Amino acid sequence: MRLRTALAALGLLAALGSAAHAQEWPSKPIKIITGFAAGGIGDLGARLLADHITRTTGQQAVVENRTGAAGTLGMDAVAKAAPDGTTLGLALNGNLVINPFIQKQMPFDAMKDLVPVAAIGDAPQMIALSTEVQARTFKEFQALAKEKPGTYSYGSAGVGSLPHLSMAEFARMAGLDLVHVPYRGNAPAMTDLLAGRIQLISASIGTFRAGLEAGKLRILLTATRNRLPYSPDVPTAAEAGLPGYLMSVWIGVVAPAGTPAPMLDRIHAVTQDMMKEQAAKNAMSGAGLDPMPMSRAEFTEFVKADHARWETIVKNAGVPKE
């Protein structure tokens, strides 16, 4: 009895110590790793969070852009870091729920070696069509494409990229035979779309603004459940005639597995505070990112469900592991 009592007391002391240590987070400088170069939404999220931590906690937070293998190298560094709260990752959904199904040599288990901490935002995907195509709605384009299978092409950031998989799923669900033209990134694909060399692309509003203003493209639908406040006249996929088509690029904070739960709760709270700042809201809006307010538990379940969903999408697209 005395032994059990002593062990219980030790356990309570350890738990209290862990909680107290978490409340002190960060007690050391923080490194936030993103697997992408400067300029993208992954880098933006990392820099917003690093700036917030530095300003509000008194501890310096820095961003490390560790690029390569579609973000896998950066997330591998996070997965192998000490679980002490000094190394965090700013992940895109591709890092956690797409790469495991398209990369043959994944150096870590995205569902076991990383812990989802806080969702930040998502960029809903839209299907844009060149105005050189004589169709104003999804139904009109669907009819044209079915009359001429293999005639219309779409661009993407490369085989297995989210823009590719998003368009492949669009074509599958719509029953269309479209030609995939992979590029080294979405920017050159957009250049060819505006020039009329390809006809479609899947991306977020931030990518499309210049083309819309120039009258070079039109949005057929948003891959969302509800209409977007910044594109109120664009129908959702269901309204356009393609129910169940939902696509977005989301970003969030992850930590190495084994990081104490009280510390994860503290990091989550700090991230939520960052998202309430007007400067962060403005920066996210400018990049086409909508806030994703979720509890830590909700984010964890969301990632698990998205992992299972993308496994099916990749399988349907017939993308082999490379």
- What is the spatial distance between Cα 70 and Cα 163, in angstroms, rounded to a whole number? 13
Nearest-angstrom CA–CA distance, 91 and 314: 19
pLDDT at site 187 = 86
Architecture of the 126-240 domain = 3-Layer(aba) Sandwich (3.40)
99, 86 contact by CB (below 8 A): no
pLDDT tens per residue, the chain (322 residues)?
Answer: 555 554 454 455 444 444 555 568 999 999 999 999 888 899 999 999 999 999 999 999 999 999 999 999 999 999 999 999 999 999 999 999 999 999 999 999 999 999 999 999 999 999 999 999 999 999 999 999 999 999 999 999 999 999 999 999 999 999 999 999 999 888 899 999 999 999 999 999 888 989 999 999 999 999 999 999 989 999 999 999 999 999 999 999 999 999 999 999 999 999 999 999 999 999 999 888 999 999 999 999 999 999 999 999 999 999 999 8
- Supply the pLDDT for residue 295: 97
Distance of alpha carbon 89 from alpha carbon 115, whole angstroms: 10
Are 172 and 132 contacting, i.e. CB atoms less than 8 angstroms apart? Answer: no
Domain 2-123+249-317 has CATH 3.30.360.10: no
Confidence (pLDDT) at 22: 56
pLDDT at residue 17 in the model: 47
Residues forming CATH 3.40.190.150 domain(s) in the chain: 2-123+249-317
AA identity, residue 102: I
Task: Tell the residue number behind the tokens 């050159």, with chain if given.
Answer: 188
pTM here is 0.87
Please state, in angstroms and rounded to a whole number, the distance separating the CA atoms of residues 100 and 91: 14
Tokens of 68: 């390569």
110-125 burial: b if 16+ Cβ within 10 Å, else e: beebbbbbbbbbbbbb
Domain with CATH 3.40.190.10 in the chain: 126-240
Task: Tokens 């949005």: give the residue.
Answer: 219
Distance separating alpha carbons of residues 168 and 55, to the nearest angstrom: 43
C-alpha distance from residue 154 to each of 85, 132, 175, 184, 187 (Å): 42, 14, 15, 14, 13
> Residue ranges of the alpha helices (H) in the chain?
2-23, 41-57, 72-79, 93, 99-102, 138-147, 162-174, 186-194, 205-213, 237-240, 261-276, 278-286, 296-317
